[in-house]
């Protein structure tokens, strides 16, 4: 089992009143390491409109590389504007995952739009930065990964990686929608698409992680790293209903694979759960693992799907099966 030392909450937009477009929520953190800083991208929201509807924007903070718990800077505007009228990302860009490629940085994000019968639909878009990730421009008005005759529901929660010159995009694919007493809910499962260029994708729509809670278990946020000759996935899972609190809320799970195709689930090894009290006492989820100067860190979001902010944890042990 991995053992993580929680270093505390890093950032909560509610503590900073001078960014009205970033009023609350810090969701789906993703990092880029520079010479002096660690840039953490996440998704945040302004206040809801008169109908109670939210929008979501991509933001970032810069951390001190020598002291990753110290915030040096908060961006002063969204890193990517919302899409235009009628586009797939008109109402939100959330979640987000970033990666370097050649002389630019790519952001893979879920754009979502509002619907009539269900609450929303989502697809995955790509935006590119040529200024070290200060801002991004989408490659086009449409998504690079969207629903098809074989995947007819939403696609979201992208996590991007490259292994052996192949691009891998893990995403949450909609299995179906269900109706609860109060609203509709999507059932989402972790799937993967592969590509030679990161733009044109192949996928088979197969669910990668077996269910443990029940057949309506929701899974998302699959973050994969290569260590000790194997591939290690940290992901989030929750119940499909009554998941806003501690009992049914997101937890971080773990799975391992030898070939990036077949995965063996063993959540007990993940090692990072909820705290006894405080900002992550009900949820610890959407973990992103990265290496820095000989240490391994996980950055993750907390209670209420990240409404309470994001925090940092440092790996305290490194068993043979997880050595770099």
DSSP secondary structure string, 146-181?
---SSS-S-EEEEEEEEETTEEEEEEEEEEEEEE-S
Closest CA to 27 of 107, 97, 127, 94: 94
CA distances from 136 to 132, 205, 216, 224, 292 (A): 9, 29, 36, 24, 25
pLDDT at 17: 85
Quote the pLDDT of residue 244: 77
> Going residue by residue through the chain (324 aa), what tens digit of pLDDT does each one get?
999 999 999 999 999 988 999 999 999 999 999 999 999 999 999 999 998 999 999 999 999 999 999 999 999 999 999 999 999 999 999 999 999 999 999 999 999 999 989 999 999 999 999 999 999 999 999 999 999 999 999 999 999 999 999 999 999 999 999 998 888 999 999 999 999 999 999 999 999 999 999 999 999 999 999 999 999 999 999 999 887 778 888 999 999 999 999 999 999 999 999 999 999 999 999 999 999 999 999 999 999 999 999 999 999 999 999 999
CA 145/CA 123 separation, integer angstroms: 6
What does the block give as tokens for 130? 């040529």
Cβ atoms 206, 189 nearer than 8 A: no
Taking a C-beta distance cutoff of 8 angstroms, is the pair 43, 61 a contact?
Answer: no
Distance of CA 53 to the CA centre of its chain: 21
Going by C-alpha positions, the residue among 182, 89, 74 that lies closest to residue 127 is 89
Domain span at residue 160? 4-322
Beta carbons within 8 Å of 20's beta carbon, 6+ residues apart: 46, 47
User: For position 96, what pLDDT does the model report?
Assistant: 97
Domain count, the chain: 1
pLDDT value at position 255? 98
Tell me the three-class secondary structure of 38-80, residue by residue: EEEEEEEECCCCCCCCCCEEEEEEEEECCEEEEEEEECCCCCE
**Phi and psi torsions of 311, nearest 5°:** -135, 175
Q: What are phi and psi of 138, to 5 degrees?
A: -65, 150
Query: In a 10 Å sphere around its CB, with 0-12 CB exposed, 13-18 middle and 19+ buried, how is residue 149 labelled?
Result: exposed
CATH of the domain at 111: 2.115.10.20
**Contact at 8 Å (CB) between 95 and 25?**
no
Q: Give the separation between CA 269 and CA 249, rounded to whole angstroms.
A: 19
pTM reported for the whole predicted model: 0.96
Helix (H, G, I), strand (E, B) or coil at 297: strand
pLDDT at site 51? 87
- Contact yes or no for 166/194 (Cβ under 8 A): yes
Question: Any idea what DSSP says for residue 182?
Answer: S
């Amino acid at each position: 089992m991995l053992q993580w030392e929680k270093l505390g909450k890093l950032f909560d937009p509610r503590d900073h009143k001078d960014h009205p477009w970033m009023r609350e929520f810090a969701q789906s953190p993703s990092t880029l390491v520079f010479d002096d800083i660690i840039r953490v991208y996440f998704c945040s929201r302004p206040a809801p409109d008169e109908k109670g509807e939210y929008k979501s924007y991509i933001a970032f903070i810069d951390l001190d590389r020598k002291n990753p718990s110290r915030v040096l800077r908060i961006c002063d505007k969204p890193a990517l504007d919302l899409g235009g009228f009628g586009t797939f990302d008109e109402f939100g860009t959330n979640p987000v995952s970033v990666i370097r490629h050649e002389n630019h940085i790519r952001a893979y994000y879920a754009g979502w739009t509002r619907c009539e019968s269900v609450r929303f639909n989502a697809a995955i878009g790509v935006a590119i930065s040529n200024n070290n990730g200060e801002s991004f421009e989408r490659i086009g008005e449409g998504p690079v990964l969207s629903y098809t005759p074989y995947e007819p529901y939403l696609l979201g929660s992208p996590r991007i990686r490259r292994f052996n010159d192949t691009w891998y995009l893990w995403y949450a694919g909609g299995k179906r929608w269900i109706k609860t007493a109060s609203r509709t809910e999507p059932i989402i499962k972790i799937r993967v698409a592969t590509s030679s260029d990161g733009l044109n994708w192949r996928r088979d729509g197969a669910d990668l992680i077996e269910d443990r809670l029940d057949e309506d278990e929701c899974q998302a946020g699959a973050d994969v790293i290569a260590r000790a000759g194997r591939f290690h996935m940290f992901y989030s899972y929750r119940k499909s209903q009554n998941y806003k609190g501690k009992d049914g809320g997101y937890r971080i799970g773990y799975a391992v694979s030898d070939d990036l195709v077949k995965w063996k689930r063993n959540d007990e090894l993940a090692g990072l759960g909820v705290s006894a009290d405080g900002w992550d006492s009900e949820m610890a989820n959407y973990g992103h693992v990265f290496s820095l100067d000989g240490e391994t860190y996980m950055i993750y979001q907390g209670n209420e799907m990240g409404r309470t902010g994001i925090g940092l944890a440092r790996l305290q042990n490194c068993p043979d099966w997880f050595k770099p």
